[in-house]
Structure 1
Amino acid sequence: MGETTTARRPEHDQVTGPVAAVVVETPLAHLDRVFEYDVPDELAADAVPGARVRVRFAGRELDGFVVERRERAEHDGRLQPLRRVVSPEPVLTPEVLGLCRSVADRYAGTLSDVLRLAVPRRHATAERNLPLEPSPRAEVPAPEPGPWAAYPAGPAWLRRVASGEAPAAAWTALPGQVPGDDWPDALAVAAATALAGGRGSVIVVPDHRDVARLETALTRLLGPGQHVRLTADQGPQARYTAWLKVLRGHVRIVIGTRAAAFAPVHDLGLVAWWDDGDDLLAEPRAPYHHTGVVLGLRAEATGAAVLSGGFVRSLAIQVEVEAGRLVPVEADAAVVRAAAPRVSVAGEGLDEERDGAASRAHIPSRAWRVAKDALHDGPVLLQVPRRGYQPALSCAECRTPVRCSRCQGPVAVGASGRVPACRWCATTLGPDSFECRHCGARRLRSSVTGARRTAEEIGRAFPGYPVHTSGSGEVLAQVGSEPSLVVATPGAEPVAEGGYAAVLLLDAWASLDLPVLDAPLESLRRWAAAAALARSGRAVVLCGAPEAVTLPAIEALVRWDPAWLAARELADRTELGLPPAVRMAQLTGTRRGLQDALAQLDLPDGAQLLGPMPLPAPRRTGDGPAESRVDRHALVRIAPDRTGELTRALMALRAFRSARKEPEVVGVRVDPLDAF
């Protein structure tokens, strides 16, 4: 842990009590509470509220945080003394502690699980090297509205932020790549407006490439040193130094990925996040919280303004808009039409008469013509929904997906010239060994063409033009303005200098066929993110749409009306009693473990139990003799205004099973994204 360093402490009268209330870092649910320890005289000055300490707990030394100093203990017995103070730096502020407790309660988790994500590990060198007191800074003047002038409600929202109010907005951003007028510039203006009013900001974006764009916009507007970034790719010292700058008041603007939502910003005045529907904003570790919910809870507790932005609107945001908790900030229809690209669907109208079946090929003739014409002016983007070469194979006769005979995993071709092999266990499929278990046919076909195969095809079709690929393993941040072909998977599209001359969205059916309830909205989100990278008024061609079907997601893309699709989907969900019109929780485990847990669960009145039922994708947990197969799950449905009752019941279940040391682990997730 390193040596103790001198740090700023709270006022003396707040730390004089001889008893320390400590949150101990333990994942056991039945121990999710504070424990009291005696404070030795030699540690009394350093064991301030918020400080890291080491304590003796259940026969072991564990880390913890002091959350309070008390004059007398609530425990009647003898108290264990604190072992040592790791650092007197009050890293756990009361605001962050309250936020972590709210998140744990909202998602039926433990405080310890949230704290390990909220407070980074200590780095002693960073504590020593950073000055305790911030340098005096000149006042920041309020910026011009800039990009917000394009939205009728934009300047008024900024004025309320500058005056210290707490307006909450759902912002539908205009597409386009105009320098100084893009979405990172708009977020930078919002943060600068809050700073001019004497308040800080937290802005969270999905990945490090978005952070880099936002950082460039902030530096251009405010100059260097006015913000810090908090991302997973930073080293321990760089990350802790940035976090300490926020804690000690050196800066008041924080940008970053998920964990930045917990940054201890002083005088918080604005919380903002971009692209609410991106799954990178959902924490993959317990308690599986969503960044938008965390920032919403934080704004509610601190009185900060709220801004959720994106090219499309998620259902969670649509719920808030319809409830009146978020006010939509949108451009007028005429402005949207002028900024949006020209979207067409390959295979419609004259395409069918001219090209026949070829109009719905992987890259139809309309897409070829658009790409050929656009390459004279600049780069062309091709979005491919799957990575790899041929990531899925099926029977050529009956279209049944090919599965591995050993583990039932999907069979794919990894690269040109390779034999088909299982993507799970790598078992190869010989040239004459395939026989369809349904129809007996022996020929294979590609179900989906991956990014690498598409790059190979497009390179042959347009010799002389460079081909760039961006996807898993190598994600490009930016490409130049010179003519080139860029093949990218969803979420990995690089920004082109000056925007793309054209965008081709391939294999639309593969996005629409995603095995999730949110497939229409997710498809639109992916398509819109790529289409928004095109220059204003340029061509976007959607290829591979299902035949003879006009789907709402496609209609919303062509009309560039994401709010219409979100409202339609929410109305359907409300009628059917599906999330987010209702609140859902998921319990997963083995057959026996889940059966026992459901018998122990005291559901509130009005809650509806669905299942148990088989998991779509069973998984193994544990090692050696303790390994078990998690293959069952159950869903609990309840009205949104009774979420607290459900989460308290789930927390009581976890604590009960933890105290009894039940051998079967049962997972609990509130608002699971992948259960529907």
Structure 2
Amino acid sequence: MTAERKAAEHEPIARVLPMLTVPHLDREFDYLVREEQSDDAQPGVRVRVRFHGRLVDAFVLERRWNTDHEGKLGWLDRVVSPERVLTPEVRRLADAVSARYAGTRADVLRLAIPPRHARVEKETAAVPPPFEATAPDAAAWAGYAGGPAFLTALEEARAVRAVWQALPGESWTDRIVDMAAATLRGGRRVLAVVPDQRDVDALSHSAVARCGPDAVVALSAGLGPTARYRRWLSVLRGGAHFVIGTRSAVFAPVHDLGLVVVWDDGDDTLAEPRAPYPHAREVAMLRAHQLRCGAVIGGFARTAEAQALVRSGWAHDLVASRPVLRERAPRVVALDDDGFEQERDPAARTARLPSVALRAARTALQAEQPVLVQVPRRGYVPSLACARCRTVARCRHCTGPLSLTERRAVGAECRWCGRVDPSLRCVRCGSDAVRAVVIGARRTAEEFGRAFPGVPVITSSGEHMVDTVDSGAGLVIATPGAEPVADGGYGAALLLDGWALLGRQDLRAAEDTLRRWLAAAALVRPHRDGGTVVAVAEAAIPTVQMLIRWDPVGAAEAELDERAEVGLPPSVHMAALDGTSDGVAALLAEAGIPGSALGSALGSADVLGPVELPVGARRPPGLDPSAEVVRMLVRVGRDQGLALASALRGATAVLSARREHDPVRVQIDPLHFG
């Protein structure tokens, strides 16, 4: 060794994990540590190493006395920061997530650890004041079977796992804060994961009111990189007792975690769109299992995946009794569940605003109560079709869907490229007459404004979201997920265009529709106070029946049974392979699916396909734009999920090293298959 490069006296070798994107390099490498780096180059810190002639980021995993490498070792280029950002718990979780989803640890760590901001790290960490948790509201949990005992178990720091069915009208933020308060009184800390920024703000507001601003930290991408890293560091340094955030917060380095909560796990935003595509619910369950801590999945609705946890015994039900539910729920009616109503209004079945819906709205408005109108789509008229042959109107430049805006005089506008078509003509039959396929929120606001003149109309959607509305008479037109909370609750809710939600070409259409309906209906006053929900859909549809009975548990049970019958997750594990035909075939062959000794370890693996990449699915990165992309599905039993992920992960690494085929995107148990 040269004089200017003297190795450290104590454990001179650092085993590091480079942050490389290629699968075959997802392994540890040994580097020598210089003496002056020794104090800072500790496990968990960021370093820079020279790899294949270039500098790359890496994390130190451990310090060692010896190495398995037989050749000459390189040197750590530099220690980026002495901050130990990769904790042992997060490292262990990243290993489990990469194994579960057939991904690389580098991809998982990019999701788990935010980019560094040197100025923020140099700031003096504030010493948190002494914290004393408030008592939870036990009376609010009396309506749930086993609710008080559940809070007691959290306070005693027991690893209680539950799937919580929130009651209609329930302040879900207050109930999560109750769980957090019980856990904090037991001396442990809490992590809550919610779908979006709006939910983060709502839960943070309730948490700060009860626990104080010094105990609560909210993490979300909307903060900006600097503010988010500052808050993330406060969690890492032990300054947070109650951490709230969106999907990436499930990896937050919370000290002494006693409870992890996931709210509304059926929301698509909890599924990570970047490799290896983990779902926050599954990551939270892995974390709870590793740490032997409490875990709660909550919502007004229930997914089949959550019900599978209850059926397996991993979690227990936390639901209210039927008498309590009937006392809290609004009255729910559909179009044809009353024969007298059909005789009175024969056109109700085909009308977008049937008389029963208008009557419910009028009754609530006369009582000076707000009315919620849920519309599946935002915009004015977001989809057009030929009035004669029903062919969907598309842009002649990019084939995108054409829509109408409030400026109807300018013609139809493409939702993809923005071009305007001033003279529509059907490409199939030549007709110039068009009809609306879907009516948007703004057009609906116009219709209700004409039906109820003088009543204020408020529109809430992703473009402009309203959080709260007053208790007086008013019409609130909202898209799913953007419904404001009304002071005292809504007097009525009208769920329009049910066919647009239920008729989607999606295996989760029924589950997702019920989730959206229940979320809106939960904002309505109880039936004893005149609250009414009108679903503009046929009462004979099973999903509508579940809404009328307010039975999300029964709906989840039925959904789980149906998926088991046809072989869909969560009753099985399924991998979606997207790539060129040659690439997918090579991956299956290397993984031994089916046929080889490796394939025999998977038992009876079913290979389905190939089919064209589903409409709306993103193309795999790294492929030639002109290459034809196909999808194949591999299905195995519930107990063979890790074996399938391991086989695909290993095969991906081998093909990556050979570089003979185009890369293939691997998704384990994706939300949407087609």
Answer yes or no: same fold by TM over 0.5: yes
Q: Report 1:25-64 matches (<5 A).
A: 25-64=19-58
| 1:78-157 equivalent positions in 2, closer than 5 A | 78-131=72-125, 134-135=127-128, 137-140=130-133, 142-157=135-150
Gaps of 5+ in 2: 1-7, 594-598
Does structure 2 conserve the Cα–Cα contact (< 8 Å) formed by 1:591 and 1:631? yes
C-alpha distance 423-662 of structure 1, shift in aligned 2 (>3 A): farther
Give the partner amino acid of 1:326. Answer: A
Secondary structure of the equivalent of 1:638? Answer: strand
Whether 1:205 aligns to 2:194 is yes
Q: Does 2:556 match 1:566?
A: yes
Q: Is the 8 A contact 1:130 1:241 kept in 2?
A: no
Query: Which amino acid is the alignment partner of residue 411 of structure 2?
Result: V
| AA matched with 1:585 | A
* Residue equivalent to 1:646: 644
Partner residue, 2:656: 658
Q: Which amino acid aligns with 2:652?
A: R
Q: Does the alignment pair 1:480 with 2:474?
A: no
Q: Is the 8 A contact 2:579 2:620 kept in 1?
A: no
CA RMSD of aligned residues (A): 2.2
Given residue 420 of structure 1, which amino acid in structure 2 is its aligned partner? Answer: A
Could you tell me how far apart the structure 2 residues matched to 1:147 and 1:596 are? 57
- Partners of 2:467 and 2:485 within 8 A in 1: yes
> What's the CA shift for 1:26?
1.0
Contact 1:480 1:496 in 2 (8 A): yes
Partner of 2:3: none
What is the deviation of 1:235? 2.0
Hey, what's the Cα distance between the residues in 2 that align with 1:154 and 1:623? 47
Deviation, 1:461, is 2.0
TM-score by length of 2: 0.93
Deviations along 1:468-495, whole A, 9 cap, x unmatched? Answer: 2111322222222232211111111111
- Taking structure 1 as the reference length, the TM-score comes to 0.93
The answer to whether 1:458 aligns with 2:448 is: yes
1:58-97 CA distances to partner (integer Å, 9 max, x unpaired)? Answer: 2111111111111111211111111111110111000000
Map of 2:5 onto structure 1: none
Cα offsets for 1:611-646 (capped at 9, x unmatched): 111122277759999434453100000001001110
Aligned mates of 2:270, 2:424 — CA distance in 1: 45
Rounded Cα–Cα distance in structure 2 between residues aligned with 1:16 and 1:144? 53
8 Å CA contact retained: 2:42, 2:60: yes
In the alignment, which residue of structure 2 is the partner of 1:7? none
* Distance of 2:621 and 2:197 partners within structure 1: 34
User: Counterparts of 1:163 and 1:495 in 2: how far apart (Å)?
Assistant: 34
Distance 1:299 1:390 in 2: 45
User: d(CA) in 2 for partners of 1:193 and 1:444?
Assistant: 59
Contact 2:587 2:648 in 1 (8 A): no
Give deviations 1:262-320, integer Å, cap 9, x for gaps: 11111111011101111111111111111110010001111110111011110001111
Q: Could you tell me how far apart the structure 2 residues matched to 1:530 and 1:466 are?
A: 20
C-alpha contact 1:146 1:186 (8 A) present in aligned 2? no
SS at match of 1:233: helix
- Deviation of 1:542 (Å): 3.4
Q: Is the 8 A contact 1:621 1:628 kept in 2?
A: no
Looking at structure 1, the residues matched to 193 and 57 of structure 2 have their Cα atoms a distance apart, in angstroms, of 28
Confirm or deny: 8 A CA contact 2:129 2:214 kept in the other structure: no
- Give me the whole-angstrom Cα distance separating, in 1, the residues matched to 2:340 and 2:131: 63
**1:137-286 mapped onto 2 (5 Å cutoff):** 137-140=130-133, 142-176=135-169, 182-286=171-275
**Preserved CA contact (<8 Å) 1:620 1:629:** no
Structure 1 residues 623 and 249, CA gap change in structure 2 (3 angstroms): closer
Assess, with a 3 A threshold, how the Cα gap between structure 1 residues 71 and 514 changes in structure 2: closer, same or farther: same
Aligned to 1:632: 630
Q: 1:351 aligns with which of 341, 345, 350?
A: 341
For the structure 1 residues 127 and 304, does the alpha-carbon distance in structure 2 shift closer, same or farther, using more than 3 Å as the test? same
Instruction: For residue 552 of structure 1, report the CA deviation from its aligned partner.
Output: 1.2
Does the 8 Å contact 2:573/2:635 carry over to 1?
Answer: yes
The amino acid that maps onto 1:124 is A
What secondary structure, in the 3-state scheme, does the structure 2 residue paired with 1:54 have? strand
Q: Does the Cα contact within 8 Å between 1:619 and 1:629 map onto a contact in 2?
A: no
Matched, 1:402 2:374: no
Q: 2: distance between equivalents of 1:383 and 1:172?
A: 22
Structure 2 counterpart of 1:389: 380
Aligned to 2:414: 422
* Secondary structure at 1:82 match in 2: strand
Residues 395 and 544 (structure 1 numbering): CA distance in 2 closer, same or farther, change over 3 Å? farther
Secondary structure of 1:375's aligned partner:
helix
Q: CA deviation at 1:594?
A: 2.8
- Please name the residue that 2:567 is paired with: 577
Q: Which residue of 2 aligns with 1:431?
A: 423
**Deviation of residue 240 (structure 1)?**
1.4
1:100 alignment partner, SS class: helix
Q: Which runs of 5+ in 1 are unaligned?
A: 1-13
- Comparing 138-147 with 21-30, which one deviates more in the overlay? 138-147
Q: Aligned partner of 2:258: which letter?
A: G
- Does the 8 Å CA contact 1:211/1:255 hold for their aligned counterparts? yes
CA distance in 2, matches of 1:613, 1:213: 43
Look up the match of 2:61.
67
CA distance in 1, matches of 2:577, 2:169: 43
